[in-house]
Structure 1
Amino acid sequence: MGRLLSIDFGEKRTGIAVTDELQIIASGLTTVETPKLMEFLKEYISKEQVEKVIIGEPKRLNNEPSQVTPVLNAFIEQFHKQFPSMVVVRVDERFTSKMAFQTMIDSGLKKKQRKDKALIDEIAATIILQDYMNQ
């Protein structure tokens, strides 16, 4: 059994989370500058057995695609070319950044730490992955 890898895609930064090999626990892995994302994924997937990639799909409250959707679609197309046999699942990611911020508050992080947008993206990717695993 391979890991599940979750992506909270953003135009500037992308949060990454993974499971353990038994797919029991979702954990934040890192945040990557989006222009370097494909390079990071190539390296990670070459070292670790990844079974499936879960990508957060940004939508507006009215269920319309968000402004980042065309950029995300281009990334997914590029990803499929690089990893043609990899299963990619899109999941609704509405409110995950707000949930990540609330998680930071609930965890007792100081105000300065809560301003770390990279950490918010990593936590959001973990929430996306945990939600997928709970379904």
Structure 2
Amino acid sequence: MGRILAIDYGRKRVGIAVTDSMQIIANKLTTVPTHEIMKFLEEYFKQEDVEQVVIGYPLQNNGQPSQSIEYINPFIKNFLKKFPEMPIEQHDERFTSNLAFRAMIDAGLKKKQRQNKATIDAVSATIILQSYMESKKQF
């Protein structure tokens, strides 16, 4: 069984989270500058067995796509062109930044650590991945 990798795509940074090889636990992996994401993914896919990619897809409260779609859709198109064999799924990422901030407070991170946007992006990717995994559980 391969890992699931989650992407929280942003204009400046991309937060990345990944599951363990058994797809039980979501862990934050890193944050990469946006202009380096394709190179990072290419290297990561060579080193790790990734079964699927989940991309945070920002929706508004009414379920309509947010303005961020303007730069996320071109990324998805480029991703599919570069990695045509990699299954990709979009997952609602509403409120993940707020949840990430709350999770960092609950974890006891100091104010200076919570202001680090790279940390917020990686934690947001982890929340996207955890939410995706929970949505796929079958009871």
**What TM-score range do you get, normalising by the shorter chain?**
over 0.9
Shift of 1:70: 2.0
Code of the aligned partner of 1:121: D
CA distance in 1: counterparts of 2:43 and 2:22, whole angstroms? 21
CA distance in 2: counterparts of 1:74 and 1:87, whole angstroms? 17
RMSD: 0.8
Alignment partner, residue 119 of structure 1:
119
Determine what percentage of the aligned residue pairs are the same residue. Answer: 58
CA distance in 1: counterparts of 2:20 and 2:111, whole angstroms? 30
Residue 128 in structure 1 maps to residue 125 in structure 2: no
What secondary structure sits across from 1:30 in the alignment? strand
Shift of 1:102: 0.1
Gaps of 5+ in 2: none
Contact 1:56 1:90 in 2 (8 A): yes
CA distance in 1: counterparts of 2:58 and 2:110, whole angstroms? 28
The ranges of structure 1 where at least 4 consecutive aligned residues each deviate by more than 6 angstroms after the TM superposition are none
CA distance in 2: counterparts of 1:3 and 1:111, whole angstroms? 32
Q: Which moved more, 1:14-23 or 1:54-63?
A: 54-63
Code of the aligned partner of 1:107: A
What secondary structure sits across from 1:118 in the alignment? helix
What secondary structure sits across from 1:67 in the alignment? coil
Code of the aligned partner of 1:27: N
TM-score, reference length from structure 1 = 0.97
CA distance in 2: counterparts of 1:66 and 1:35, whole angstroms? 22
What secondary structure sits across from 1:65 in the alignment? coil
Alignment partner, residue 101 of structure 1:
101
Shift of 1:62: 2.7
What secondary structure sits across from 2:77 in the alignment? helix
Alignment partner, residue 57 of structure 1:
57
Alignment partner, residue 31 of structure 2:
31
Alignment partner, residue 3 of structure 1:
3
What secondary structure sits across from 2:65 in the alignment? coil
TM-score, reference length from structure 2 = 0.94
Contact 1:11 1:68 in 2 (8 A): no
What secondary structure sits across from 1:91 in the alignment? strand
